[in-house]
């Protein structure tokens, strides 16, 4: 039985085709970015192009019996999920009812823990805590997007760093390590250059600027260190609420923001309730999705 696993996000869509009976990867690849926000015409075009490219690459290996995918911003059972399942079905020949699509977190949670045994504290572009409880229901804390509340994620860190640079100048304090690190990343740190760098990018592009804050923190800049520690506080808040709501005693810290600087994870660990174990984890999401597809089940809502 061939199963297809998808991990679709703002930078790329990765896929794995698995021979589930032998637990052997038949093929894997990468297509363009995708999102569940296909009500936006530009996002819709990019997402459809990515899915069509995957279908073209996979078709030569056979028809997947089942497909499971995690797609950033996609709600399980929504009209968008139904439409994307129909698109994959048309491109690959897999029946739509054998395609399970939801956000990217359900795949990670299913891949790391039995239901009710643990949760995910994710810090990437945004930030969210997520788990699947013993009843099979999704428990989600945060993750409202950068406009509402993604505190602790890389976008939030980058914006806080830029804000500190411009406010320091307004207050007549001149430049410091934050401005120097920002200039090293984007070519200069004057306002026209910052404005062009920020407003020419999507949220993922702004999040990709976050390493300048970590670089300034490594140079000893107090403002940068404070931003990273506050990010840890915000993430600890999410994890604490999730651990209480599920309840569970194990949380996996995943996502690129944790790799910016060890202070972030250390701060979260120091703020977690007694009895809750937070540990860094890495997971091959498209492979995990392909394995989830082999034991088929719909994403929790």
Question: Does the pLDDT value for residue 301 go beyond 70?
Answer: no
Q: Are residues 148 and 264 both part of a single domain?
A: yes
Q: Are residues 162 and 264 both part of a single domain?
A: yes
In a domain, 90, yes or no: yes
Q: Are residues 84 and 146 both part of a single domain?
A: no
In a domain, 290, yes or no: no
For residue 296, the model assigns a pLDDT of: 66
Condensed to tens digits (0 to 9), the pLDDT of residues 163-222 reads: 999 999 999 998 999 999 999 999 999 999 999 999 999 888 999 999 999 999 999 999
Structural domain boundaries enclosing 46: 2-102
Largest CA distance in the chain: 66
Q: Are residues 160 and 16 both part of a single domain?
A: no
In a domain, 107, yes or no: no
In a domain, 277, yes or no: yes
Query: What is the average per-residue pLDDT within 66-80?
Result: 93
Q: Are residues 64 and 152 both part of a single domain?
A: no
Q: Are residues 96 and 137 both part of a single domain?
A: no
Per the structure, how many domains does the chain have? 2
Q: Rounded to whole angstroms, how far apart are CA atoms 121 and 54?
A: 29
Cis omega (within 30 of 0) on the bond before 247? yes
C-alpha to C-alpha distances, 196 to 178, 202, 205, 206, 259, nearest whole angstrom: 18, 12, 12, 11, 26
Is 18:3 a contact under the CB 8 Å cutoff? yes
Q: Are residues 24 and 167 both part of a single domain?
A: no
Condensed to tens digits (0 to 9), the pLDDT of residues 111-138 reads: 899 889 999 999 988 999 999 999 989 9
Short-list 47, 76, 57, CA closest to 16: 57
CATH code of residue 79: 3.30.420.40
Q: Please list, in sequence order, all residues whose beta carbon lies within 8 angstroms of the beta carbon of residue 62, skipping any fewer than 6 positions away.
A: 2
For 18, counting Cβ atoms within 10 Å of its Cβ (0-12 exposed, 13-18 middle, 19+ buried), the class is buried
In a domain, 6, yes or no: yes
Q: Are residues 8 and 56 both part of a single domain?
A: yes
Question: Does the pLDDT value for residue 20 go beyond 80?
Answer: yes
For residue 104, the model assigns a pLDDT of: 83
């Amino acid at each position: 039985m061939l199963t297809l696993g998808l991990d679709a996000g703002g930078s790329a869509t990765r896929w794995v085709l698995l021979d589930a009976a032998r637990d052997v990867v038949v093929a894997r690849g990468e297509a363009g970015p995708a999102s569940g926000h296909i009500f936006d015409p530009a996002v819709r075009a990019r997402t459809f192009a990515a899915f069509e490219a995957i279908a073209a690459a996979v078709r030569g290996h056979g028809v997947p019996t089942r497909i499971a995918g995690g797609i950033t911003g996609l709600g399980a059972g929504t009209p968008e999920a139904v439409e994307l399942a129909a698109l994959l079905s048309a491109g690959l020949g897999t029946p739509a009812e054998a395609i399970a699509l939801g956000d990217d977190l359900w795949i990670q949670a299913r891949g790391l823990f039995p239901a009710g045994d643990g949760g995910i504290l994710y810090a990437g572009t945004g930030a969210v805590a997520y788990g699947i409880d013993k009843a099979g229901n999704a428990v989600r804390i945060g993750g409202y997007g950068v406009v509402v509340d993604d505190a602790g994620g890389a976008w939030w860190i980058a914006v806080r760093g830029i804000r500190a640079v411009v406010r320091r100048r307004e207050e007549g304090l001149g430049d410091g390590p934050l401005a120097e690190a920002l200039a090293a990343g984007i070519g200069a740190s004057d306002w026209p250059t910052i404005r062009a760098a920020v407003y020419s990018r999507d949220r993922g592009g702004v999040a990709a600027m976050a390493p300048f804050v970590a670089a300034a923190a490594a140079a000893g800049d107090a403002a940068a260190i404070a931003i990273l520690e506050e990010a840890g506080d915000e993430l600890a808040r999410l994890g604490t609420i999730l651990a209480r709501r599920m309840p569970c005693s194990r949380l996996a810290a995943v996502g690129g923001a944790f790799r910016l600087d060890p202070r972030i994870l250390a701060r979260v660990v120091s703020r977690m309730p007694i009895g809750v174990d937070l540990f860094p984890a890495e997971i091959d999401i498209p492979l995990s999705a392909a394995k989830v597809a082999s034991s088929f089940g719909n994403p929790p809502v």
